[in-house]
Amino acid sequence: MRAEVLLEGRGVTKRFGGLTAVSQVDFELHRGEILGLIGPNGAGKTTLLDCLTGVEPANEGTITFAGQSLIGLKPHQVVKRGIARTFQVVQPFPTLTVRDNVAMGALFGSTRAHKDVRRAQTVADEKLAFVGLTNKADQPAAQLTLGERKRLELAKSLATEPELLLLDEVNAGLNPAEIKTAIDLMRKIRDEGVTLLVIEHVMKVIMDLSDRVIVLHHGEKIAQGSPDDVTNDEGVVRAYLGEKYAKLLALDR
């Protein structure tokens, strides 16, 4: 009783010079689910998102979204198809206010493009309320703390009214309380009908949140399945979680 496949990649490969950053990766994403994407540093997670969004076009493979190919599209075209993305290193428009930052998303990214600036700002205010940044709306984005910037990034993406949201380590560097808020937020987003693909380092988030998990290592997919399956996979433990994780698990028991 699987939901429809929203995003599908087959044999996606990206090379930089001699280095193969993403190698023959197959994946699919079902409408309404949260898919976790994990793997050690340099495993190719962010590069895979780059391939999806047209930042770094894939060398090989096919990517289809809602039945249409994404290959060859520029980032701004991908956005208009309904795919929004946050960046690992947040990229706000530094001197603009938080509200204007989000309004940019509504003005340009949305499939229903709000051509009117005032309406875009209304949308921006809604999204800021959604992520809990209303009180910062008039501050320049450069003055936000890291956690706030991450939420701003999220609000900006949401303002494009996406069907699919790609989150690149939105929780990195957040404290436990903030992470908890973030998880709730992501659930809320999903409940509004947005499909999520989440790159995450904090295992707790992946375990709590994802319906399914894909593990990348050296650009290759080495495992996929439910969070529990994956964390118990021996290959994954060896490649990614490492001895220390095992040690910790032991320590906890």
Partner 1 sequence: MFPIWTKNQWLALWLGIAVLVAIPQFTDNDGTRMWMDILMYMILAMSWNFIGGLTGYPSFATAAFFGLGAYTTAILMNHGAPFLVAMPLGGVVGATVALLLGILILRLRGHYFAIATYGAAEGLRELAENLEITGAADGINLPQIEGTVDYFTQYFYYSMLAVAVLTVLTVYWVTRHRLGYGLVAIRENEDAAGMLGVVATKYKIVAFMLSAIFPAMAGGVYAYRAAFVEPIDVFDVLFSIEAIVMALLGGVGTIVGPLLGAFFLELINDFLWSHFLEFHTAFLGLIMVLVVIFTPRGVMALVQEVRKKGGLRALGGILLANTQRFKV
Partner 2 sequence: MSRGETRGGYTTVSANDVLLSVTGLEGGYDQVQILWGVDLEVSAGEMVAIIGSNGAGKTTFLKTISGVVPSRAGTIVFDGIALEGATAKEIVERGISHVPEGRRLFGPMNIEENLLMGGYARGLKDHELAADLERVYGIFPILKERRKQLAGSMSGGEQQMCAIARGLMARPRLLLIDELSLGLAPRLVEQLCANLVEINREGVAILVVEQDVLTALDLAERGYVFESGRIAMSGTSDELIANQEVKRTYLGI
> Could you say which of partner 1, partner 2, none residue 219 binds, taking C-beta under 5 to 8 angstroms by partner kind?
none
As a whole number of angstroms, the distance between CA 159 and CA 247 comes to 43
Using rule CB under 8 A, residue 174 touches partner 2: yes
Residue 237: what residue type? V
Using rule CB under 8 A, residue 203 touches partner 2: yes
Residue 59: what residue type? N
Binding mask 103-142 for partner 2 (x = CB under 8 A): ---------------------------------------x
Using rule CB under 8 A, residue 32 touches partner 2: no
As a whole number of angstroms, the distance between CA 117 and CA 104 comes to 9
Question: Residue 251, exposed/middle/buried by CB under 10 A (0-12, 13-18, 19+)?
Answer: exposed
Positive or negative CA dihedral for 94, 173, 179, 42?
Answer: positive
Collapse the DSSP code of 125 into the 3-class scheme (helix H, G, I; strand E, B; otherwise coil) and give the result.
helix
> Could you say which of partner 2, partner 1, none residue 172 binds, taking C-beta under 5 to 8 angstroms by partner kind?
partner 2
Residue 168: what residue type? D
Q: Give the binding range for partner 2 (CB under 8 A) out of 30-38, 48-56, 92-100, 169-177.
A: 169-177
Shortest spacing between CB 197 and partner 1, in angstroms: 15
Instruction: Judge contact between 153 and 92, C-beta under 8 A.
Output: yes
Q: What is the DSSP string of 197-251?
A: EEE-S-HHHHHHH-SEEEEEETTEEEEEE-HHHHHH-HHHIIIIIHHHHHHHHHH
Query: Which positions lie near partner 1, rule CB under 8 A?
Result: 53, 55, 74-76, 79-80, 85, 87, 91-97, 100, 103-105, 107-110, 113, 115-118, 120, 156, 160
- Under the phi-then-psi rule, with left for phi > 0, alpha for psi from -120 to 50, and beta for the rest, what region is 95? alpha
> Could you say which of partner 2, partner 1, none residue 248 binds, taking C-beta under 5 to 8 angstroms by partner kind?
partner 2
> Could you say which of partner 2, partner 1, none residue 190 binds, taking C-beta under 5 to 8 angstroms by partner kind?
none
Please report, as residue ranges, which positions from 66 to 105 form the binding site for partner 2 (by CB under 8 A): none
Using rule CB under 8 A, residue 172 touches partner 2: yes
Binding mask 212-251 for partner 2 (x = CB under 8 A): ------------------------------xxx---xx--
For partner 2, the binding residues (CB under 8 A) are 41-42, 142-143, 145-147, 172-176, 202-204, 242-244, 248-249, 252
